[in-house]
Amino acid sequence: MANPLRAAVILFPGSNREGDVARALRQATGVPPTIVWHDDRALPPGTELVVLPGGFSYGDYLRCGAIAARARIMEAVRAHAADGGLVLGVCNGFQILCEAGLLPGVLMRNAGRRFLCKTQHLRVENASTAFTRGYAPGQVVKFAIAHGEGNYAIDAEGLAELERAGRVAFRYCDARGEIGGRANPNGSIDDIAGVYNDKFNVLGLMPHPENLVDPLVGGIDGRPMFAALAAA
Amino acid sequence: MKTRVIVTLKSGILDPQGKAIEGALRSLGVEGVASVRQGKVFDIELDAGDRAAAQAKLAEACEKLLANAIVEDYAIENG
């Protein structure tokens, strides 16, 4: 690739999926992303994609993602997003984006009270964004989930706006693509697994696409997301 | 000045931790427990001129960090 995507992965104290994200990005772009420390003030020049990886930033103290959302680097991430730059938050990264106000809503304790660690089917609700162009609309994909606080909550007005504008990115479903009931692992409202901001350049989702990029670990349904980003 | 901030989930917001504690209290034979809601207490030593100034600073702290206004309420005790 002549001009590979310039990606930056933010490392907070307690992040633990930055290596997985870096590997998925390297596979898609041919080059490793830059790892950026949370206390830095600026992103590397020319950064096109910022990824907030999963983990337990600051030990989930106060609320999941609450401290990381106020980290110094987040001002640069906010400016990057405001300029239309791409931002992807996975799991704890999704929680951080919500706490930072870059995405609406909040991730609450799983309704069933248990930490969930398993593969999970999702339905691609919007396949026309920089993140999901590699999928077909309504396609059922298998990602991994690993979270204790993934129960997405938002007020009625905010929910109506997400649904009206096509900002629901993924919904939890079963292997046949049916949503609802036991297919919803954590109690998320409207079975929401991921949402976009109003300009569709910021995506947050609880499931981990970066963990399904190698047949050796059970599937490659995450690859199209990184391939689409690499081509962005 | 010794101050205290109490953050609680808004009514109607599901509180799985509170539910678990409620179940545990019942199983321990503590009678009469109708429901449990769990929250957080922050004891904050504050330099502030007077109670009104302290109130304003603590409200700022709550809005900026201590509470998530989407699902939580806060109460300030000072002086």
Other beta carbons within 10 Å of A114: 12
Q: What is the DSSP string of B46-78?
A: ---SSHHHHHHHHHHHIIIII--TTTEEEEEEE
Q: B68 to chain A: which residues are within 8 Å by CB?
A: 63, 66, 99, 106
| pLDDT single digits (tens) A87-130 | 999 999 999 999 999 999 999 999 998 999 999 999 999 999 99
Tell me the sheet residues that pair with A196. Answer: A203
**Of chain A residues 75-94, which have a CB less than 8 A from chain B?**
none
Q: Cβ separation of B68 and A108 shorter than 8 Å?
A: no
Give the position of tokens 């110094």: A72
- pLDDT(A2) > 70: no
Helix (H) or strand (E) segment spanning residue A143: strand A140-147
- pLDDT(B79) > 60: no
On whether ipTM exceeds 0.95, the answer is no
Judged by a CB distance cut-off of 8 A, whether residue A111 touches chain B is yes
| Segment A146-156 mean pLDDT | 96
Q: B66 to chain A: which residues are within 8 Å by CB?
A: 62
| pLDDT single digits (tens) A13-53 | 999 999 999 999 999 999 999 999 999 999 999 999 999 99
| pLDDT single digits (tens) A179-230 | 999 999 999 999 999 999 999 999 999 999 999 999 999 899 999 999 999 9
Q: Tokens representing A193?
A: 């697994």
Residues A84, A90, A94, A95: is their CA dihedral positive or negative?
negative
